[in-house]
Amino acid sequence: EAHVKDEEEEQWISEEEELRTLKIKDEEKPQLSELHQIKTEDDLETEAPTSSSQEKPFSCDVCGLRFWLKSVFKKHTQIHSTEKPFVCSVCSKRFLRQGNLKSHMHIHTGERPFICSVCSKGFSQLIHLTSHMRVHTGEKPLICGFCHKGFSHSASLKSHMLIHSGEKPFVCRVCNKGFSRREVLKKHMPVHTGEKPFICEFCSRGFSRQENLKSHMHVHTGEKPFVCDVCSRGFSRRASLKSHMNVHTGQKPFICSVCSKGFSRLLHLRSHMRVHTGEKPLICGFCHKGFSHSVSLKSHMLVHTGDKPFVCRVCNRRFLRLEILKSHMRVHTGEKPFICEFCSRGFSRQDILKNHMRVHTGEKPFVCDVCSKGFSRRASLKSHMRVHTGQKPFICNICGKGFSRPDTLKNHIRVHTGEKP
């Protein structure tokens, strides 16, 4: 902090002296005698050389800077002195020079004598006016030594340098997360406080940051200002476009720390992580069943609504989910891509193959709670349970007799039809 203050003081030679110089610049072609009038007695001892090729005669032994005028040189040497003899009577802050103290007093008095000639804004110190003028001129004299980006203010350059150094001096007191700039930390704090001062005028939803509200407004306006150069798809947020570009480049920068699988978007990685954690944060409002992915919850909701949006183009049968429709289509195509490794028999669905495999393995995972008899298929156990309950849901439409199993009913029908198997 002391170093920054010294730099500010070094930039400032003397406000009164600089004002005189500015005054001279405003006058047209000042006479040589006028220039002599603003020099001190010390400067009259050694005139500045008329040739620009000659070396500045006054050299600082500490930092090596050279000066034309002795008065300026003397004031500069005070920067290296630890003594600050001029003390503010209000806040006790100390200064090397009386001019600096005089300028500082404007902070307490509220006086702003330095007025911008463009926008009439007032400043308490000349250095602040000089810095402000760059807003109007667009001048960016402060250059980053790493990337050569220009800045109009030293504070902006200093803040920018943290990007290269990786330093994050502004730390959140709640979660200890570090930030390179104070304003970013300030924006972060509502995460902990829950404060959402920026309110959407359409839906009254609150946001912790103004840029988030601005981005949200595109939902209502339908505006998609960020357009993909490859496929011309529009996005409401710049981050969404940036993430989308990974689809075209094939880049998958978001890597799972558990299985090393890569993803093009961060939200896909976050969703994938639930496979490992078992987290199911998305809850059905009807039955309170949990789901790890929004698409799974959306699909599940159709069970409650009865909506079957996926229609077979061949037989017009409707299905809850797209994958069930795809599986159904094999009934029409005859495709049987799931092959038994024991007998090479093909099946249209993987779950049917899984059930079939128990014929070879002898596995009977579905066990009757009453008699402990095991079955290879859930449907077989369900049918068996009717033996114990006495339930006979399959009714003959000719004689009204009931049966516990559909195949038993089918055999019975032949009594009436005379059909021989």
For the segment 351-386, what is each residue's pLDDT rounded down to a tens digit?
A: 889 889 998 999 999 999 999 999 988 888 988 998
Whether the pLDDT of residue 49 is over 60: the answer is no
Q: In the block, which residue shows the tokens 């077989």? A: 380
For 69-73, 120-124, 266-270, 278-282, which range has the lowest pLDDT when averaged over its residues? 69-73
Q: What is the band of 184 on the pLDDT scale with cuts at 50, 70, 90?
A: confident
Q: What is the CATH number of domain 366-417?
A: 3.30.160.60
Higher pLDDT, 31 or 218: 218
Phi-psi region of 64 (alpha: psi -120 to 50; beta: other; left: phi over 0): left
pLDDT category of residue 187 using cuts at 50, 70 and 90: confident
Q: DSSP characters for 163-216?
A: HHH----EE-TTT--EESSHHHHHHHTHHHH----EE-TTT--EESSHHHHHHH
- Compute how many other C-beta atoms are within 10 angstroms of the C-beta atom of residue 228: 15
Q: Can you tell me the distance from the alpha carbon of 280 to that of 69, in angstroms, rounded to the nearest whole number?
A: 76
Distance from C-alpha of 421 to C-alpha of 55, rounded to nearest angstrom: 120
The pLDDT of 58-85, averaged and rounded, is 79
What is the rounded radius of gyration, in angstroms, for the C-alpha atoms of the chain? 41
Comparing 2-18+57-137 with 366-417, is the CATH topology the same? yes
Domain ranges (residues) in the chain: 2-18+57-137, 366-417
Distances (CA, A) of 74 to 165, 278, 401: 36, 73, 120
Amino acid at 15: E
What is the spatial distance between Cα 70 and Cα 45, in angstroms, rounded to a whole number?
9
232: nearest Cα among 221, 244, 222, 243:
244
| Superfamily name with CATH number, domain 2-18+57-137 | Classic Zinc Finger (3.30.160.60)
pLDDT-derived band of residue 54, with 50, 70 and 90 as boundaries?
A: low
